[in-house]
C-alpha cells in the first residue's frame, strides 16, 4: 500500500488502521517472494503501481461541467418538488482538505457503489460524485456522517430563471414608467454609473451583438462550453439578454432604451446548457467566475417554482417549512454569499414568482444578499411576486421594457426584471461610494424607500443617492 493510500484513511471518522497495515505487509511480502523466484507477474514493472492509474479519480480538467443528462432528471419525494439529477451529489469540504485524497477515501469506502468523480473545483473545495440513483438518498446522508471534513452534501438541482408570465423607448410612457417610479431620471443628475463598476449577470444566455450590450461587455464566460463565447441557443432563450439590458443597457446610442446604470460595464456569465437548463453547479461556477474577475455586483434572476408545493398553504405553514427544509443547502448558499460579501461584491437576487414566502427557497434565506420582490404600476406587490420578511426591497417588475435577442425589445414580467433594476441601482450607489457594505446599502434602501403594505419598501434611488451625499 502506498503512502497516499494509507493517508486517506485519516479522513474517516472512526475505525482502525490495523487491518490496512497487516494487508500492506502481506502485499509487500508477496511482491518480495515473486521477485526472488522470478515468477511472471504482469503487474510488476520494477516499481510500485501508479495508484491514480489503478483508480482514476478526477476528470482531465477542473471546473468543466458535463452536459446535463435529461434522462436522469427526477422529482424527489420532498416538500419542494424540485427537479434534481438522480445520479449526482455535490459535496463541499473544509478549506484545508486535499480533494484527491478525500475523493479516493469516498470511492474506496463505498467500493460496491462504483462511485466516480464527474467534476471538481479545488479553489472552493467542491467535488461532484456520480452515484447509483437507487443509493443517492442514502449516500447523501452517509457521506456527511462518515467524513468529518464534509460541510454540506447537496443534490444537483435544476434551477429555473423565473421566466416571465407572459433610446426611442424614453419617449413612450408605456416603456419608461418604471424609471419615473423609482426616481431614476433624478438620480442620473448625480451619476449614470461608472466604467470601473462591473455588474455580472448570471443567466441562461445572452445576445452579445445586441446594440444595447455590444459596447458594455467585458470578460464574458460560458460555463458549460468553458469558453468566452456567450450566445443564444434558441429563440426561447431571451431571459439573460433582457435582464442584462435592464441593468446596464447602453444609453444615447439612438436605439431602444437603456439600463439603470448605463455607464457601468457588464460581465455576462452564461450558465445554461444548450437546452436552457441550469444547475446548482453551474450557478456556483458563475458566482466564483464573477468574484475572480472582480465583479462589483452579481445579479441572480434565478430560483425555484414553489407554487405547486406551497401555493395552497397558509403563511404560518410556509414559515414552518422554511425553518425545517433544506437547511444544509441554505447553509451552503449562505457561505458562498458571505465569501462574496467579504470580497466587497454585492449579490442581488430575484425573490421568485410563486406568490409565496421567499424564504421557502434555500437560495433566498441568507442575510448576505439583497432579495428583490416585484411591484406593479400602482406601487403594490405584483400578484406573482414572492414576499415576506426575506424580501429586502421591492422594484418594478411588470411590463418591463428591455432588450431581447436579434436587436428586438420586449415587455416582460417577473421578479427577474425587478432584480436587475436593483442591481443597476447598486451600481449607481457604488459609483458614488464604493465603501458601503451590503448592510449599509440595505439600510439606506429601506430608510429612503417608499413604504407600502405597512412593511415593505419600494426603491427610490434618487433619495438614496441624496442621502449618501449628505453623509
Which among 436, 435, 374, 410 is positioned nearest to 182, based on CA atoms?
374
Identify the H or E element spanning 35.
helix 18-36
Ordered DSSP codes for 440-459: HHHHHHHHHSEEETTTEEE-
Q: Does 210 qualify as catalytic in the annotation?
A: no
- Across 27-79, the runs of DSSP E, i.e. the strands, are 73-74
> Which among 194, 203, 361, 392 is annotated as catalytic?
203
C-alpha cell recorded at residue 5: 493510500
Decide: 117 and 102 in contact? Cβ < 8 Å: no
Which among 66, 447, 470 is positioned nearest to 282, based on CA atoms?
66
> Which among 282, 416, 423, 431 is annotated as catalytic?
416
Q: Does 403 qualify as catalytic in the annotation?
A: no
Taking the C-alpha atoms of 330, 333, 335 and 339 in order, what is their torsion angle to the nearest 10 degrees? -160
The per-residue b/e assignment along 294-323, b for 16 or more CB within 10 angstroms, e otherwise, is ebbbbbbbbbbbbeebbeebeeeebbebbe
Decide: 374 and 403 in contact? Cβ < 8 Å: no
- Across 357-407, the runs of DSSP E, i.e. the strands, are 370-375, 393-396, 400-404
Q: Does 242 qualify as catalytic in the annotation?
A: no
* Region at 15 (left for phi over 0; alpha for psi -120 to 50; beta for the rest): left
> Which among 239, 273, 366, 403 is annotated as catalytic?
239
Rounded Cα–Cα distance for residues 141 and 436 (Å): 40
Decide: 404 and 238 in contact? Cβ < 8 Å: yes
Rounded Cα–Cα distance for residues 268 and 240 (Å): 8
Rounded Cα–Cα distance for residues 10 and 104 (Å): 12
Decide: residue 40, CB within 10 A, 0-12 exposed, 13-18 middle, 19+ buried: exposed
C-alpha cell recorded at residue 72: 436522469
Q: Between helices 438-448 and 461-470, what is the axis angle to 10°?
A: 120
C-alpha cell recorded at residue 377: 404600476
- Known catalytic residues are 203, 239, 416
Amino acid at each position: 500500500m502506498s503512502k497516499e493510500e494509507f493517508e486517506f484513511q485519516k479522513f474517516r471518522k472512526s475505525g482502525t488502521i490495523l487491518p490496512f497495515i497487516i494487508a500492506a505487509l502481506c502485499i509487500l511480502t508477496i511482491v518480495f517472494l515473486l521477485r526472488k523466484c522470478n515468477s511472471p507477474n504482469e503487474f510488476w514493472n520494477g516499481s510500485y503501481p501508479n495508484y491514480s492509474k489503478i483508480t482514476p479519480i478526477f476528470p482531465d480538467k477542473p471546473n468543466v461541467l458535463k452536459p446535463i443528462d435529461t434522462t436522469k432528471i427526477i422529482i424527489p419525494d420532498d416538500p419542494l418538488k424540485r427537479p434534481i439529477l438522480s445520479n449526482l451529489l455535490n459535496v463541499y469540504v473544509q478549506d484545508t482538505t486535499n480533494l484527491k485524497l478525500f475523493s479516493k477515501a469516498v470511492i474506496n469506502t463505498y467500493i460496491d457503489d462504483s462511485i466516480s468523480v464527474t467534476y471538481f473545483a479545488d479553489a472552493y473545495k467542491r467535488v461532484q460524485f456520480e452515484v447509483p440513483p437507487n443509493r443517492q438518498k442514502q449516500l447523501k446522508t452517509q457521506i456527511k456522517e462518515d467524513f468529518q471534513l464534509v460541510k454540506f452534501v447537496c443534490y444537483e438541482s435544476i434551477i429555473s430563471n423565473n421566466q416571465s408570465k407572459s433610446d426611442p423607448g424614453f419617449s413612450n410612457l408605456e416603456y419608461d414608467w418604471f424609471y419615473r417610479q423609482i426616481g431614476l431620471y433624478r438620480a442620473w443628475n448625480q451619476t449614470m454609473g461608472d466604467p470601473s463598476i462591473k455588474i455580472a449577470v448570471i443567466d441562461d444566455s445572452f445576445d452579445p451583438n445586441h446594440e444595447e450590450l455590444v459596447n458594455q461587455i467585458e470578460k464574458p464566460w460560458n460555463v458549460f462550453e468553458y469558453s468566452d463565447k456567450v450566445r443564444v441557443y434558441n429563440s426561447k432563450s431571451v431571459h439573460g439578454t433582457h435582464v442584462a439590458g435592464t441593468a446596464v443597457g447602453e444609453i444615447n446610442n439612438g436605439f431602444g432604451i437603456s439600463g439603470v446604470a448605463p455607464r457601468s460595464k457588464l460581465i455576462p456569465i452564461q450558465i445554461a446548457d444548450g437546452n436552457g437548463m441550469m444547475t446548482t453547479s453551474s450557478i456556483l461556477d458563475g458566482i466564483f467566475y464573477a468574484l475572480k474577475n472582480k465583479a462589483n455586483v452579481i445579479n441572480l434572476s434565478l430560483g425555484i417554482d414553489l407554487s405547486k408545493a406551497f401555493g395552497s398553504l397558509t403563511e404560518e405553514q410556509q414559515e414552518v417549512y422554511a425553518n425545517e427544509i433544506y437547511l444544509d443547502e441554505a447553509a451552503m448558499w449562505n457561505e458562498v454569499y458571505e465569501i462574496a460579501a467579504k470580497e466587497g461584491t454585492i449579490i442581488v437576487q430575484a425573490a421568485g414568482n410563486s406568490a409565496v414566502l421567499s424564504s421557502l427557497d434555500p437560495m433566498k434565506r441568507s442575510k448576505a444578499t439583497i432579495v428583490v420582490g416585484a411591484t406593479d404600476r400602482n406601487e403594490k406587490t405584483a400578484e406573482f411576486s414572492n414576499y415576506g420578511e426575506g424580501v429586502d426591497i421591492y422594484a418594478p417588475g411588470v411590463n418591463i421594457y428591455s432588450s431581447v435577442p436579434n436587436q428586438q425589445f420586449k415587455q416582460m414580467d417577473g421578479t427577474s426584471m425587478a432584480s436587475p433594476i436593483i442591481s443597476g441601482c447598486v451600481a449607481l450607489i457604488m459609483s458614488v461610494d464604493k465603501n458601503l457594505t451590503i448592510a449599509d446599502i440595505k439600510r439606506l434602501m429601506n430608510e429612503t424607500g417608499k413604504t407600502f403594505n405597512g412593511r415593505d419598501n419600494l426603491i427610490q434611488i434618487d433619495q438614496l443617492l441624496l442621502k449618501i451625499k449628505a453623509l
